[in-house]
């Protein structure tokens, strides 16, 4: 019993002042980033056999059932303290509904995985900005200058790619980016005193009264022509992207600091581009690579400017 309690305390408590804790947090966050880097290619596979809405909501329903089983098996309460419901509602809106819905619709409307990846490349800066605002800190002017430069790089890239006008897929991906930033920040805050796996589990379980019936209706009302690729993609976004990936990710944010450990997402755009090339056979030109690198530079500056 003591061993189990000790494990829970270690997983749920952040140690921002300890170098070992920060290093451990960075390693955990990087593991989460590796899991998330396959989300967009997997979503692309899934929507080939399932309706985009079914992919977006169904993955949360499947992950919610998994989370419910884990909480029950661990002997934990099936709902969090009522005082924290508002924070869990923000997590649900951000990462259970917001990011999956917006990203699925963007890909269904024609955005390529590589194109969407460049836009999501600004996510670390958006997450850091949310963390700064939630913590009530006063970042240096350089932080905001770098954020603005990153946003300008993304805006220029999307306008050039679409002949001077933003497209609906781009706007949807921006919505996905902002949703994830809010969900990551709230989850990282709660993970300072609650184990990361419980944080994402509670957010998913609280969403079940909505995700399960909606998934059932969508499954009955939309055509399903799922082959092996679509099934594999749906399984990945349900089990990995929606649940298991958040376990090391939230623990890493709690241990290393939301903005500091968030630096590991600098690697996500390039990881996803590799997955898109390897799994989907997508080809991307110099503009995509340059935009991704520009975002990485801007985000790196925001991280350094904050400290």
Angle, helices 99-108 vs 113-120, to 10°: value is 140
Contacts of 189 (CB under 8 A, 6+ apart): 87, 134, 258
User: Nearest Cα to 132, choosing from 41, 257, 23?
Assistant: 257
The stretch 96-113 carries a mean pLDDT of 89
Q: What is the mean pLDDT of residues 283-303?
A: 76
The DSSP output letter for 94 is I
Return the pLDDT at 234: 97
pLDDT given for residue 263 in this prediction: 67
Is residue 7 scored above 60 in pLDDT?
A: no
Confidence of residue 224 (pLDDT cuts 50, 70, 90): very high
Overall average pLDDT of the 211-227 stretch: 95
What tens digit of pLDDT does each residue of 130-165 get?
A: 888 775 656 678 877 877 787 777 767 766 765 656
Mean pLDDT of 267-275: 78
Lowest mean pLDDT across 29-33, 237-241, 245-249, 265-269: 265-269
- The model carries a pTM of 0.81
pLDDT of residue 62: 97
Task: Return the pLDDT at 163.
Answer: 61
The rounded percent of the chain whose pLDDT value lies above 90 is 48
**198 pLDDT higher than 60:** yes
Q: How many CA atoms lie within 13 A of 182 on its CB side?
A: 19
Average pLDDT over residues 104-124: 81
More confident residue, 134 or 68: 68
- The residue that leads in pLDDT, 259 or 209, is 209
More confident residue, 188 or 3: 188
Q: What are phi and psi of 212, to 5 degrees?
A: -65, -55
Q: Give residue 24's pLDDT.
A: 82
Q: State the chain's mean pLDDT as an integer.
A: 83
Quote the pLDDT of residue 305: 63
The pLDDT of residue 165 is 60
Rg (CA), the chain: 19
- Which of the pair, 296 or 88, is modelled with greater confidence? 88
Give the number of residues written for the chain.
Answer: 307
Q: Which of 274, 270, 279, 233 is nearest to 100 (CA)?
A: 233
- Report pLDDT digits (tens) over 22-66: 678 878 988 998 999 999 899 999 999 999 999 999 999 999 999
Tell which residue, 277, 236, 296, 185, has the closest CA to residue 50. Answer: 236
DSSP-derived letter for residue 263 is G
């Amino acid at each position: 019993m003591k061993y189990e309690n000790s494990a829970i305390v270690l997983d749920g408590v952040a140690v921002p002042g300890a170098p070992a804790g920060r290093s451990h947090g960075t390693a955990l966050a990087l593991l989460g980033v590796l899991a998330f880097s396959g989300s967009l290619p997997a979503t692309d596979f899934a929507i080939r056999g399932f309706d985009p809405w079914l992919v977006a909501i169904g993955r949360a329903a499947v992950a919610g059932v998994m989370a419910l089983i884990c909480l029950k098996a661990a002997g934990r309460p099936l709902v969090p303290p009522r005082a924290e419901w508002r924070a869990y509602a923000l997590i649900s809106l951000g990462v259970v509904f917001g990011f999956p819905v917006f990203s699925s619709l963007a890909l269904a409307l024609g955005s390529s995985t590589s194109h969407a990846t460049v836009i999501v490349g600004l996510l670390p800066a958006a997450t850091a900005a949310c963390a700064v605002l939630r913590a009530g800190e006063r970042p240096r002017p350089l932080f905001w200058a770098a954020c603005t430069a990153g946003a300008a790089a993304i805006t220029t890239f999307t306008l050039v790619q679409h002949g001077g006008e933003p497209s609906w897929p781009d706007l949807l991906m921006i919505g996905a980016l902002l949703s994830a930033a809010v969900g990551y920040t709230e989850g990282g805050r709660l993970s300072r005193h609650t184990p990361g796996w419980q944080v994402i589990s509670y957010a998913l379980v609280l969403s079940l009264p909505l995700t399960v019936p909606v998934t059932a209706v969508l499954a009955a009302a939309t055509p399903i022509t799922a082959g092996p690729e679509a099934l594999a993609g749906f399984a990945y976004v349900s089990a990995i992207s929606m649940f298991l990936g958040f376990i090391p990710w939230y623990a890493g944010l709690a241990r290393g600091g939301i903005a500091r450990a968030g630096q590991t997402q600098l690697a996500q755009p390039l990881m996803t581009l590799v997955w898109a090339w390897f799994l989907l056979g997508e080809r991307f030109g110099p503009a995509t690579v340059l935009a991704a690198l520009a975002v990485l530079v801007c985000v790196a500056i925001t991280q350094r400017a904050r400290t």
